[in-house]
């Protein structure tokens, strides 16, 4: 499976080119302090600030769908190309989301708005497709799980091409939930720091076109999945199943740990994730492979997080100039954690042909994806 086109929207910008340049330079300024989401408190959040298209159909009039449509407009030519290349019943749609239109439902009371399948059905209807469509919602691993589903559909000839979307907009329900867990921060998130203070929420959207029949694009080399069966909201600190997911992805890709040039960490900035993920990375890669989190730049975009991070990895592979995404934190590394090779701002690296993206969700759902370009 290859990613033959991709785009993204988040607080850093309205297209992947702008997002890439801000991310590679470690820009953590694109956040707002919001009131009204939690009682008597401030939420530091990454907002998308751009004009969005109008959706007239009331059942589909959701911010998530407007974000998807805005992103699809950036890939208009690519979507038209697959429409000419493949029949409409062989082009699938898979959307990763955790919120859909739960925020709008509070006012509209339209039951269609809180259906998780709404964004997938919207895109299928908008492009007048007649093939497979589905929504994947496995908490914060949703984005990579959507890629796993797409791979299976392509490999089994159910689809010839798939539009993969990852989207979530800000909503009170998840923000209240994270606040109740005491993992939200009104200060910049600093994953792996001894001064970590929690996560910053963001909203985002990423769109990909995936095909098997293409000589161009970013190749998905391996995907690994596992489940902790440990706790509803806390990952297993021993990281057993996270390690299994990493090894599964490496095995499918036919790669060794030393073949990975860069790891985009899940790294939410919480104690539980830092313990688990640093342990998993160290046990497989030691402290050799460059690692960073882009969530201090974008916020944690929930169902869109892995999509934004995958788009960032794709752009890094396409545009590598010696720099990797820096790990922006206060440089007070928590020495109780295993040592990691965190990427420094401005440091030059020799190559970046293979990236690994980590994604971990509530319920112990783990997903790892390895992608490459010019890796032979």
- 300 belongs to the catalytic site: yes
DSSP string, 86-132: S-GGGEEEEEE-S-TTHHHHHHH--GGGG-TTHHHHHHHHHTT--S-
- 21 belongs to the catalytic site: no
- CA 294, 298, 301, 304 dihedral sign is negative
* Helix/strand/coil for 199: strand
CA 285 vs. chain centroid, Å, equals 22
CB 280 within 8 A of CB 289: no
Candidates 300, 314, 327, 352; catalytic one: 300
CA separation for the pair 313, 8 (Å, rounded) = 12
- 327 belongs to the catalytic site: no
Torsion over CA of 340, 344, 348 and 353, rounded to 10 degrees?
50
Give the contacts of 314 (CB within 8 A, at least 6 positions apart): 3, 6, 16, 218, 371
CA separation for the pair 314, 319 (Å, rounded) = 9
CA separation for the pair 35, 39 (Å, rounded) = 8
Burial label for 350, CB within 10 Å (0-12, 13-18, 19+), is exposed
Candidates 10, 266, 301, 313; catalytic one: 266
CA separation for the pair 94, 96 (Å, rounded) = 7
Candidates 64, 140, 166, 301; catalytic one: 140
CA separation for the pair 357, 312 (Å, rounded) = 10
- CA 282, 342, 186, 23 dihedral sign is negative
Give the contacts of 31 (CB within 8 A, at least 6 positions apart): 11, 44, 45, 46, 47, 188, 200, 299
Active-site amino acid positions: 140, 266, 300
């Amino acid at each position: 499976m290859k990613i033959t086109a991709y785009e993204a929207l988040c607080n850093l910008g309205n297209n992947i080119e702008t997002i890439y340049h801000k991310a590679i330079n470690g820009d953590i300024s694109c956040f707002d302090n919001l009131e009204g989401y939690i009682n008597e408190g401030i939420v530091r959040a990454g907002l998308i600030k751009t004009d969005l298209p109008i959706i007239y159909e009331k059942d589909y009039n959701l911010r998530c769908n407007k974000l998807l449509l805005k992103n699809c407009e950036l890939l208009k030519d690519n979507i038209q190309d697959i429409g000419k290349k493949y029949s409409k019943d062989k082009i699938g749609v898979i959307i990763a989301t955790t919120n859909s239109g739960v925020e709008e439902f509070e006012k509209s009371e339209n039951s269609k708005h809180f259906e998780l399948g709404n964004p997938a059905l919207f895109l299928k209807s908008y492009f007048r497709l007649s093939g497979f469509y589905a929504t994947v919602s496995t908490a914060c691993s949703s984005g990579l799980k959507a890629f796993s589903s797409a791979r299976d559909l392509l490999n089994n000839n159910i689809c010839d091409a798939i539009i993969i979307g990852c989207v979530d907009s800000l909503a009170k329900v998840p923000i209240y939930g994270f606040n109740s867990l005491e993992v939200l921060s009104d200060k910049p998130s600093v994953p792996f720091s001894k001064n970590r203070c929690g996560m910053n929420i963001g909203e985002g959207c990423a769109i990909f076109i995936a095909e098997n029949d293409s000589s161009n694009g970013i190749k998905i080399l391996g995907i690994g999945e596992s489940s902790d069966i440990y706790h509803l909201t806390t990952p297993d600190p021993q990281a057993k199943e996270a390690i299994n997911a990493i090894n599964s992805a490496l095995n499918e890709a036919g790669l060794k740990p030393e073949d990975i040039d860069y790891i985009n960490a899940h790294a939410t900035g919480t104690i539980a994730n830092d313990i688990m993920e640093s342990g998993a990375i160290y046990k497989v890669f030691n402290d050799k492979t460059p690692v960073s989190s882009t969530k201090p730049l974008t916020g944690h975009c929930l169902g869109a997080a892995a999509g934004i991070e995958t788009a960032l990895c794709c752009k890094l592979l396409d545009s590598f100039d010696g720099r990797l995404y820096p790990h922006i934190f206060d440089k007070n590394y928590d020495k109780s954690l295993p040592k990691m090779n965190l990427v420094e701002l401005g440091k030059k690296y020799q190559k970046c042909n293979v990236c690994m993206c980590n994604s971990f969700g509530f319920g112990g759902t783990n997903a790892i994806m390895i992608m490459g370009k010019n890796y032979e």
